[in-house]
Structure 1
């Protein structure tokens, strides 16, 4: 563990030295996200996240899994599988040139949807300063999605960006958490990015009310589309054999998963599933 921490510090130190030309090429920032998928329980979920910054003009924030899937889709047309829930998807695209931020959502049929983020980030930069790894950081706070957030940013990395929808501070966000510690983002690594950044198409644009309707319909009957098309619904029995699915049991299982993982970042748009 000590060796790993020393390695991270060394990498951060080396990166700072060469950050004079940060806008000359793409950068990749890795974050650890620790969050409570169920606020009534103490269990913590860890997700490995990536922020791809394209010359400071745009960025994509998503899981490492989604990043690999996007690259595979662009190259081969086939991506990786995804989970069965909608609320815990963390995929955000920012276009700084046009000042547009939107959240991307994909369902089990690979349909793409986007929600334009119109809520303003009215940051309050505080006087408190500290040090995280080898970065000098300063504290700021903001309200977003019905949660109060604390950020620590560094002007030593002159990119006004950060995890998820958060941006607009005079430097990169190194650490971000809500005041209940339901969501904690920590910067862990910085690398030169690839020349080409692959990411999802925008898909069908929704507002939050339309997303709520989409999510409630999915919760009500996850397999409605497949049933209407007469598609046989099967699953792997664990031994490589396709067996018929008990739709009642499987639907009840999916509903339980959705109810137990219903702690979205946008708490003000939380859906009360019954």
Structure 2
């Protein structure tokens, strides 16, 4: 469907045939930040553009997590989606993001980065079927968690208190990634969660926004088994914890973000305001950027991690 839409756009102008819904603005405070139109560009021969990065400290350790989502297609069929994600952390701060996006940022943030090598990684990123689009910065700044994500064509950030979880501990145990773990439960975002943490790694961080336990969280799943994060590898850190600089980053509240994100993802192509589109870029790997912001692939629809 996307290919036919963009082929039509090339003939009729980059924005004239894209669906539009005025109600997109009513779901939150995400604003249109640019107007106008340009022809669609093909990025297969364009060099990578270096970005600026803020460095939040060295990553002492890294934990790789398989993020499994049980999605429900429109016909009711259940299908499993698996995302590769990574948590970088030191005693003060942690960052959780997609593993493939982490590789791009790690290379691109290096002094004198090879732009052709970055381009190859970006092309590979465009072919990834399941991409976790969010970036979570735990205890950055101190006492806060910052969440950065996309509501195409915008990139949005909000902050909330670090580790806003009312954990209940129990004596149950489980071994995850060869580490003995203890059980904790909480409710958050409209779901009930069970976490398994290990005191052998005394870090109060975990996957996504989960944090605040007396050890690294190695596994966490909601009560319905729809969203599950499971540690698959733990290792020494390999560089800095970085945050990309973005002058177009919009700030909002968590409640407004969740409402706007879930509304947009129900039908992204119909909920991108047409007047916000400045340019569309199609990568050889299949990725589509609108105003430089990725349009997520959702072959099975969107399964929100936060319901409220």
TM range (shorter): 0.5 to 0.7
Q: Which residue of 1 aligns with 2:307?
A: 267
User: How many equivalent residue pairs?
Assistant: 223
Report the Cα offset of residue 153 of structure 1.
0.7
**Pairwise CA distance, 1:262:** 2.3
Higher mean Cα deviation, 129-138 or 140-149? 129-138
Which has the bigger relative contact order, CA under 8 A and spacing at least 6?
2
Q: How much does 1:126 deviate? A: 1.0
Q: Quickly say closer, same or farther: Cα 1:211–1:224, change in 2 above 3 A.
A: farther
Give the Cα–Cα distance (whole angstroms) in 2 for the partners of residues 91 and 105 of structure 1: 6
Could you tell me which of 60, 68, 92 is aligned with 1:26? Answer: 60
Whether 1:141 aligns to 2:185 is yes
Separation in 2 of the partners of 1:236 and 1:122? 43
Residue 41 in 1 paired to residue 85 in 2?
Answer: no
Task: Identify the residue that residue 250 of structure 2 maps to in structure 1.
Answer: 204
- Give the whole-Å Cα distance in 2 for the aligned partners of 1:151 and 1:100: 21
Partners of 2:244 and 2:282 lie apart in 1 by 27
Give the helix-richer structure, 1 or 2. 1
| Structure 1 unmatched runs, 5+ | 1-23, 239-253, 269-274
Partner of residue 117 from structure 1, selected from 151, 160, 169? 160
Aligned to 1:57: 92
Query: Alpha-carbon deviation of 1:132?
Result: 3.0
- The alignment partner of 1:36 has SS state of strand
Is 1:159–1:172's contact at 8 Å kept on the other side of the alignment? yes
Q: Is the 8 A contact 2:183 2:195 kept in 1?
A: yes
Paired with 2:105 and 2:146, the residues of 1 have a C-alpha distance of: 17
* Whole-Å separation in 1 of the counterparts to 2:298 and 2:244: 24
Distance change >3 Å, CA 201–CA 166, structure 1 → 2:
farther
SS at match of 2:242: coil
Deviation for aligned residue 1:204: 1.9
Distance 2:270 2:105 in 1: 29
Whether 1:68 and 2:120 are equivalent positions in the alignment is: no
Spell out, residue by residue over 1:61-119, the C-alpha distance to the aligned partner (whole angstroms, 9 max, x if none).
01111112323442458773669xxx96332111266111121113555x431122348
* Alignment partner of 1:126 is 2:170: yes
Offset of 1:236 from its aligned partner? Answer: 7.5
Q: Deviations over 1:160-219 (max 9, x none)?
A: 111000000110111110010101111111111123222334732112325645764965
**The residue matched to 1:71 in structure 2 has which SS?**
helix
Contact 1:145 1:267 in 2 (8 A): yes
Q: Secondary structure at the match of 1:68?
A: helix
Secondary structure of the corresponding residue to residue 181 of structure 2: strand
Dislocated runs of 4+, deviation >6 Å: none
- Unmatched 5+ residue regions in structure 2? 1-57, 286-294
